[in-house]
Amino acid sequence: MTKTTTALLLSSAAALALAANMQRSLATEPGNFGNFLAGSTMGATVATAPPPGLYFTNTFTYIPMASGNGNSSCGDGCKSRYNAAIDSVNLTWGTGLQFLGGDYFPTIQQTGYQASATSLPYPAGGGPGLSPVYSNILDFEIGNTYINPLNFSWKFDGAYYFAAGLGFVVPSGTTFAGSLVPDYWTIRPHWAFSYLGDGWNLTASFVYDINTASRGNTGLYQIIARNPATLPATSLFLTGTANPGRGYTTGNYLYLDWTATKKFGKWEVGPVGFFKYQTTDDVPGGINPATSAAWTCQELRNAKLPTCGKDVNIGVGLLVGYNFGPVDMKLIYANGFYSRDAINAPTGSTIFLKTSFRIWAPDEPTNKPRFAKD
């Protein structure tokens, strides 16, 4: 379930821990961190279309030793901790075309990342389970491609803007057993509101991810099924017809990124924030600890067994930007202060560095007369 987004590589130790603790219901397909990173549109004027031309935006994200609370952790009371460096490249085409009075500006985005993770507890000290470097794994992966062919912006009186569109995420990234990259398609309606008068950027950006079923190529289930320590019956279940790795459908997500900044000459400063909420249950949703059979979330609730969690992640931050002329840069420090039911919805610091500039524009029209007057 869950965006392109923070990065976490679960070690084989995490797989063993999850296999031994199946009684804990899942709020996501284990090992899957989703197709959208909460907070990734903070600071952007996503409700407005740029002038005609082609625009480049690079977003570098660093997550230093975040902790994820939730379903695939290393046991009760243990949080998975990880470092991640994520880089995404976005191209926006200001077409100059209009539809129903709205400016048309399609976009495309590609992401890659490096992650170092451990799912073992490590208070200060040495030895297995204690050292901060124990069981760390370094991983490099290419994320999925986001194509946003339907994207429109309308301007209203008083510098108010509204944008709406429909995009989709193609499962084109790194795929192998245990890969963090989702192997499913995501359909993404999105909309945004902005006020951009008097140097203000007051923007609320909404994304709704509708996820299709997994093909079973990535995620933690495949690690568990292939592990020699996993019981044969469990391995058969995880790779059989009812396999929640193949066919497991992650619940849908609502994301809200907000910005409230003010420009002072070339400088820009102000608060930003993000909110993430899972709106629907995963399918099948969880595992009956008595039979190891896949159960829906409602069946688990009816039996008063541990219920399927729904991911929540909330954070706030500060943006400081400077316009160098042809290049605009924004630095954001954000902190996720509340997380529930997902290792990929971290608590802790996240740093974003956004760099944007125009790489092409059509020829400027000239108003000079062809012949000088007498």
- Residue 374 is assigned to a structural domain of this protein: no
Quick check: is 5 in a domain? no
Work out how many domains the chain is built from and give that number: 1
Residue 32: pLDDT over 60: yes
Please state, in angstroms and rounded to a whole number, the distance separating the CA atoms of residues 272 and 333.
Answer: 9
- Report if pTM > 0.75: yes
The pLDDT of residue 1 is 41
For 278-318, how does the pLDDT look when each residue is reduced to its tens digit (9 = 90+)?
A: 999 887 766 665 665 666 777 767 776 655 667 888 999 99
| 252 belongs to a structural domain | yes
Tell me what pLDDT residue 134 has: 42
Asked whether residue 370 is assigned to any structural domain, the reply reads no
Q: What is the CATH number of the domain that holds 67?
A: 2.40.160.40
3-state secondary structure the chain: CCCECCCCCCCHHHHHHHHHCCCCCCCCCCCCCCCECCCCCCCCCCCCCCCCEEEEEEEEEEEEEEEEECCCCCCCCCCEEEEEEEEEEEEEEECCCEECCEEECCEEEEEEEEEEEECCCCCCCCCCCCCCCCCCEEEEEEEEEEEEEEEEEEEECCCEEEEEEEEEEECCCCCCCCCCCCCCCEEEEEEEEEECCCCEEEEEEEEEEEECEEECCCCHHHHHHHCCCCCHHHHHHHHCCCCCCEEEECCCEEEEEEEEEEEECCEEEEEEEEEEEECCCCECCEECCCCCCEECHHHHHHCCCCCCCCCEEEEEEEEEEEECCCCEEEEEEEEEEEEECEEEEEEEEEEEEEEEEEEECCCCCCCCCCCCCC
Does residue 4 fall inside a structural domain?
A: no
Asked, for residue 64, whether it belongs to a domain, the answer is: yes
With respect to residue 29, please indicate whether it lies within any of the assigned structural domains.
Answer: yes
Write out pLDDT tens, residues 106-163. Answer: 999 999 988 776 555 444 444 444 444 445 556 788 999 999 999 999 999 889 999 9
Note down the domain range covering 351: 12-360
Does 261 reside within a domain?
Answer: yes
Average pLDDT value for residue range 201-220? 88
How far from 67 is each of 62, 121, 161, 320, CA to CA, in Å?
Answer: 14, 11, 37, 25
